[in-house]
Structure 1
Amino acid sequence: MKIVIIGGTGQIGTKVIERLTAQGHEAVAASPQTGVNTLTGEGLSEALAGAQVVVDVTNAPSWETEAVLNFFTTSTRNQLAAEAEAGVRHHVAVSIVGSRKMAGSGYMDAKIAQEDLIIAGPIPYTIIHATQFFEFVPWIAQASTGEDGKVRVSPHLFQPIAADDVADAVVRAALGEPAGAIEIAGPDKLGIDEAVRQAVPDADVVSDPDAGYFGADVDDTSLVAGEGAWIGKRRFADFVAR
């Protein structure tokens, strides 16, 4: 089966390519590095020719409010149009657990807009709502560091997941039937502040209930998966230990 991975040269995309190829599928990496630009449409129709499934694991190059909205909406519109022309049967996209609970954040609003386009679009779909990746936690610390050097983050719960588990879930979805919206998460729930302390032990962490999460207000339900979520097998403590 031919499966095109939009963003196939990135962190998750490369793992998905490796897994699909190992299982005997024709996994095609589509990104600017391979001559495919979903914002301009360059190379998109050629890459999708003969594909049965398209997987979108892209992330915006800029998180500025207007730029991120333009990226996800333009890219998704172009993908769906090209998929309809190519006869693609399944569109798989990775989004974020709790995105709709955090409306008002520029990034989350952009992800909601992306999801809405997919839901209303012509291609049967699976939207994988993932919790934040283990590998993202040090960046949370960096982004939350003030001029005084203190890292102010929320003590509210989240349920991070390993990038390898995300890739496993994406492959499973790509090889399955369209499933609508699903959730995936790691096996451990812990405070964002505690996760930063573990992953960045030299950080001067301040637990701030009002810190929010990238511009969105959060509580202990915002960033954790609900019942029925697919749970990864890799533990956050093992990631920290490595």
Structure 2
Amino acid sequence: MSKKLQGKRALVTGGSRGIGAAIARRLAADGADVVITYVGNHEAAAATVKAIEGAGVKGLAIQADAGDAAAVAAAVNQAADTLGGIDILVHNAGVFGGAPVDQGGYEDFRRVFAVNVDGVAAGTVAAVPHFADGGRVVIVGSVSGDVSMIPGMASYGASKAAVQGLARGWARDLAPRGILVNVIQPGPIDTDMNPADGDMAKIMLPNIPLGRYGRAEEVAALASFLASDESSFITGTTIDIDGGATA
């Protein structure tokens, strides 16, 4: 019985752990060959590749800093050479940073944008020539692109609002080739960066109608849907996955 992503070729940036690793594993489980990028956690990257290959598909990890446009482009080209092209591009690599505007520095702002926006743009520009018609671009944004729940979120939130604009524009640019571009906007998800039992959870949990943090696997399920033929009439949009936190 064929799987819904059988024969597809995927690149997931920031795929060594957290949401990125969950997405990589899910795409592999659904039949895609998957290349991931990572910054420096070799052990976590190797573990993700092992899980990908355990699903019976091809896996590879490429070290690349998402804040370095040249490194991102090189990683995309290497992934395309390895896989023979790209059908699915998932932009998950991202950093959280910032402070209230009266306390933060401009360099922090630039680093957030270099990874969360410039890296997404560089990766997409590099990937488009390798894309098969009917491909998919999925950007992992954040509900912080729409709402600022706590002080100090301006740089991060602005970066996530920026990728919404890129996705809407790219959706029109790439529609003639049937390439769909969408943004997933997670709310509080249980990861190393924001654990469900951490200090931030004490602030966040009372505002989540479902009364819990989300799981990385739930975000991965949405990513797999958007990567598949099941999403064939969805493009240029953002989808919140936040347990109702922004309702």
Asked if the contact 1:76–1:118 (Cα under 8 Å) also holds between the matched residues in 2, the reply is no
Deviates more, 1:122-131 or 1:177-186: 177-186
Asked if the contact 2:189–2:195 (Cα under 8 Å) also holds between the matched residues in 1, the reply is yes
TM-score (norm 2): 0.63
TM-score (norm 1): 0.64
| Whole-angstrom distance in 1 between the partners of 2:217 and 2:204 | 26
Deviation of residue 128 (structure 1)? 1.0
Asked if the contact 2:141–2:160 (Cα under 8 Å) also holds between the matched residues in 1, the reply is yes
Deviation readout 1:138-177 (Å, 9 max, x if unpaired): 5861x69xxxxxx8x4786235312221122112222233
Deviation of residue 53 (structure 1)? 1.1
Question: More helix per residue: 1 or 2?
Answer: 2
Which residue of the partner structure matches residue 233 of structure 1? Answer: none
Which residue of the partner structure matches residue 48 of structure 1? Answer: 80
| Whole-angstrom distance in 1 between the partners of 2:159 and 2:181 | 18
Bigger radius of gyration: 1
Say which of 125, 133, 155 aligns to 1:106. Answer: 155
Deviation of residue 72 (structure 1)? 1.6
Deviation of residue 22 (structure 1)? 2.2
1:131 aligns with 2:184: no
| Whole-angstrom distance in 1 between the partners of 2:181 and 2:38 | 21
| Whole-angstrom distance in 1 between the partners of 2:145 and 2:185 | 8
Say which of 35, 40, 46 aligns to 2:63. Answer: 35
Which residue of the partner structure matches residue 32 of structure 2? Answer: 25
Deviation of residue 7 (structure 1)? 1.3
Which residue of the partner structure matches residue 11 of structure 2? Answer: 4
Do the aligned partners of residues 154 and 43 (structure 1) sit closer, same or farther apart at CA in structure 2, a change above 3 Å counting? closer
- Aligned residue for 1:166, secondary structure, equals helix
- Aligned residue for 1:42, secondary structure, equals helix
Which residue of the partner structure matches residue 77 of structure 1? Answer: 121
Deviates more, 1:43-52 or 1:176-185: 176-185
Letter in 1 for 2:80: L
| Whole-angstrom distance in 2 between the partners of 1:140 and 1:131 | 15
Give structure 1 stretches of 5+ with no counterpart.
145-150, 190-222, 226-242
Say which of 15, 22, 27 aligns to 1:15. Answer: 22
Paired-residue identity, %: 16
Letter in 1 for 2:32: H
1:161 aligns with 2:189: no
Deviation readout 1:27-67 (Å, 9 max, x if unpaired): 22123452344423332222135111101111216543221
Asked if the contact 2:76–2:127 (Cα under 8 Å) also holds between the matched residues in 1, the reply is no
Do the aligned partners of residues 120 and 45 (structure 1) sit closer, same or farther apart at CA in structure 2, a change above 3 Å counting? same
1:183 aligns with 2:240: yes
Do the aligned partners of residues 137 and 174 (structure 1) sit closer, same or farther apart at CA in structure 2, a change above 3 Å counting? same
Which residue of the partner structure matches residue 116 of structure 1? Answer: 165
Asked if the contact 1:62–1:68 (Cα under 8 Å) also holds between the matched residues in 2, the reply is yes
Say which of 108, 111, 115 aligns to 1:67. Answer: 111
Number of equivalent positions: 182
Asked if the contact 1:100–1:112 (Cα under 8 Å) also holds between the matched residues in 2, the reply is yes
Deviation of residue 115 (structure 1)? 2.1
| Whole-angstrom distance in 2 between the partners of 1:155 and 1:94 | 21
Do the aligned partners of residues 91 and 165 (structure 1) sit closer, same or farther apart at CA in structure 2, a change above 3 Å counting? same
Asked if the contact 1:9–1:29 (Cα under 8 Å) also holds between the matched residues in 2, the reply is yes
